[in-house]
Amino acid sequence: MRTLISQAAISACLLMFAVLAVRMARHIPGTQPVQRYLWAFTGGAFLLRGVNSAFHDVFSTYGFIQGVGSKAWDTVMVWHPFLNHSRTFLLLAYCVVVCTALLRASRGRRLPSLRTSMVAVIVGMGVGALVGWREEAFSYLTHFAAVASWDALELLGMMAVLLVGLSTGLMDRTMWTCLGINAFALALSTVWFVFLSRSGLVGEWAPKAYHLNWIKVFLYAVMSVVLVLQIRRINRGQPLRGFFDARRVPAVPSLAA
């Protein structure tokens, strides 16, 4: 039950961050289309991730209430890989789209539409579900090892986003900070799931899943706090700050039309 409660808290934090990201996009002027696009897309992607996670929580709680060995419990065990991997591949697609958008903008080319970008992350989520479908029957050893492997790939994607954000100079400090915190949570998750995959093996130590979850709750909550503070600064008339420019994020006039 402690694991389920902590997972529900993660979902709540993800949904809160997503709503704040969408609100952030509405506060950014049209003269900064790249940053407005990035926050709107981030809000949409994390909203989809949060809804997926919340559905997983409700599904798992129902199986837990029905008890081990029940039909509901067995169904939850079958669907765990589908849902877990779908969220991982959703964020992998998010990383690809963000890197593409930043590189295109740095060359003065048109940004992809938000609709196309959201379709891309939905397709990514579908690919993740297929990966889960091809996975062996659920067990700590096979599933958690697979989660750790795909999380490592997701971490590489997020690091690429942070690097491209720095190299193009088009990502604002607040987004870079939030995605950096998310990358730290991914790094921690990767190592943690390697340990969890050894759970139950004789002579092997493994942490509790809810310990990791509460750490993630804290980190995702910090992301929301950072975003709230930035929105307050914008409301006070302070410009959105670039990573290198202490005053503001550079506008891309050719994309503002």
Q: Domain 2-242 class?
A: mainly alpha
pLDDT at site 254 = 46
Asked if residue 194 has pLDDT above 60, the reply is yes
pLDDT: which is higher, 46 or 194: 46
Report the mean per-residue pLDDT for the chain.
Answer: 82
**Cα–Cα distance measured from residue 244 to residue 217, given in angstroms and rounded to the nearest whole number:** 30
pLDDT at site 73 = 67
Helix (H, G, I), strand (E, B) or coil at 113: coil
Least confident window among 64-73, 146-155, 203-212: 203-212
Least confident window among 106-120, 167-181, 230-244: 230-244
pLDDT: which is higher, 169 or 250: 169
Of 169, 186, 151, residue with least CA distance to 241: 169
Of the pLDDT bands very low, low, confident and very high (cuts 50, 70, 90), residue 4 is: confident
**Cα–Cα distance measured from residue 26 to residue 257, given in angstroms and rounded to the nearest whole number:** 17
pLDDT at site 248 = 53
pLDDT at site 202 = 46
CA-to-CA dists, residue 33 to 170, 171, 179, 192, angstroms: 10, 11, 19, 38
Average pLDDT over residues 25-30: 85
- The position carrying tokens 């899943």 is 209
Q: What is the pLDDT of residues 56-106, one digit of tens each?
A: 777 677 666 767 767 766 776 776 777 788 889 999 999 999 999 999 998
Ordered by start, the domain boundaries in the chain are 2-242
pLDDT at site 192 = 73
Average pLDDT over residues 192-201: 64
**Cα–Cα distance measured from residue 197 to residue 186, given in angstroms and rounded to the nearest whole number:** 16
Tell whether the torsion through CA atoms of 44, 46, 52 and 57 is positive or negative: negative
pLDDT at site 249 = 54
Q: What is the pLDDT of residues 210-257, one digit of tens each?
A: 777 888 899 999 999 999 999 998 888 777 777 766 445 555 544 443
pLDDT at site 83 = 79
Give one DSSP letter per residue of 3-40, joined into a string: HHHHHHHHHHHHHHHHHHHHHHHHHS-TT-HHHHHHHH
